Amino acid sequence: MTIRFEIVDKDFRTSRASTLYVGMDEAGRGPVMGPMIIGIAIATKVQISSIKKLGVMDSKVLKAVTRDKLFGLIKEKLTGFGILSISAKEIDDLRTGGITLNEIEVMAFKQLLNEFEFKQEIVLQLDAADVIAERFGKNFESMVNGEIISKHKGDSIFPAVSAASILAKVTRDAKMEKIQQEVLLFDNNLPRVGSGYPNKISKLFLSTYYRRYKKYPAFTRTTWDTAKSIKNEIDERQTSLNDFFWN
């Protein structure tokens, strides 16, 4: 199956460095709502030192205000960067077609990596999605002239991956905020959307929306167990009530 995901932002500048460090990471793999975002950060050895001094690290451990500040600074410091978005519908369609979430992530990483024509060797550093980290890296061997390092928690180990993590996380947060504003315009009596992760806030939103409109909003990953469970519970309860009143 061939599919092209949306490139949200991209820049790449010529560098005379003999080697480029290329970090890649995602944000929003697990949520029941919203997109999954992939980030790529491309840096020379000198730029790696520079972004390290900025305080880049795993985006999840940084405060939102810090991530937002680093977002712009990182872009200025790097040789290149890219941000790709995979919508909830695309994720659902692929999963319904038998594509696993890991395979979707590999597809997205490959598309984003293909956006850049590297003239020099690269060191590709990945935050591995596979339970076997090395196996995740092998997906990219045919694409890379250089070294591939695939590690769990790569966003805590490699500054380039940390930078990619921040690019992805800030972009996803902005998209979720846009979704929230669109929901308010649609029906300001609905609960907050929240982060999209399957917590109490998001479950309350989904259950309220489904009860009210008998369907989920377009930004819902309907193939997620959370969405299925909420739908089944409400449908079964409604069926029981109908049986009670009409029998």
Give pTM, 2 decimals: 0.94
Token pair 């009409």 in the structure block, residue: 246
Residue 121 to residue 35: CA distance in whole angstroms: 32
Please check the confidence at residue 242 and state whether its pLDDT lies above 90: no
The DSSP secondary-structure symbol of 223 reads T
Compute the mean pLDDT over every residue in the chain, rounded to the nearest whole number. 94
Output the pLDDT for position 209. 98
- Answer whether 35's CB lies under 8 Å from 175's CB: yes
- Measured distance CA(144)–CA(146) in Å, rounded: 6
In three-state secondary structure terms, 152 is coil
Q: pLDDT tens digits, residue range 19-33?
A: 999 999 999 999 999
How much is the pLDDT for 60? 86
202 within 8 A of 32, measured Cβ to Cβ: yes
What kind and span of H or E run contains 3?
A: none
Residues 5-39 as b or e (16 or more Cβ within 10 Å = b): beebeeebeebeeeebbbbbbbbbeebbbbbbbbb
Average pLDDT for 39-55: 96
Q: Which two tokens stand for residue 93?
A: 């369609």
> From its phi and psi, is residue 46 left (phi > 0), alpha (psi between -120 and 50) or beta?
alpha
In angstroms, what is the C-alpha Rg of the chain?
20
CB-neighbour burial class of residue 241 (10 A; exposed 0-12, middle 13-18, buried 19+): exposed
Percent of the chain with pLDDT over 90: 91
pLDDT tens-digit map of 184-237: 999 999 999 999 999 999 999 999 999 999 999 999 999 999 999 999 999 998
**All structural domains of the chain:** 6-175 (3.30.420.10), 186-246 (1.10.10.460)
Over residues 138-161, the pLDDT tens digits come to: 999 999 999 999 999 999 999 999
**For the sheet containing 19-27, what is the strand order?**
6-12, 80-86, 36-43, 19-27, 121-127, 146-151
Q: Is the pLDDT of residue 80 over 70?
A: yes
Under 8 Å between Cβ of 172 and 34: yes
Residue with tokens 């609960």: 191
Given a contact cutoff of 8 angstroms between Cβ atoms, the answer to whether 82 and 116 are in contact is yes
Per-residue confidence at 244, pLDDT binned at 50, 70, 90?
very low
Say yes or no to pLDDT of 241 above 90: no
For residues 155 and 59, is the Cβ–Cβ distance under 8 A?
yes
- Determine the Cα–Cα distance for residues 147 and 164; give it in Å rounded to an integer: 18
The token duo for 200 is 């109490």
Which pLDDT score, from 0 to 100, does residue 3 have? 79
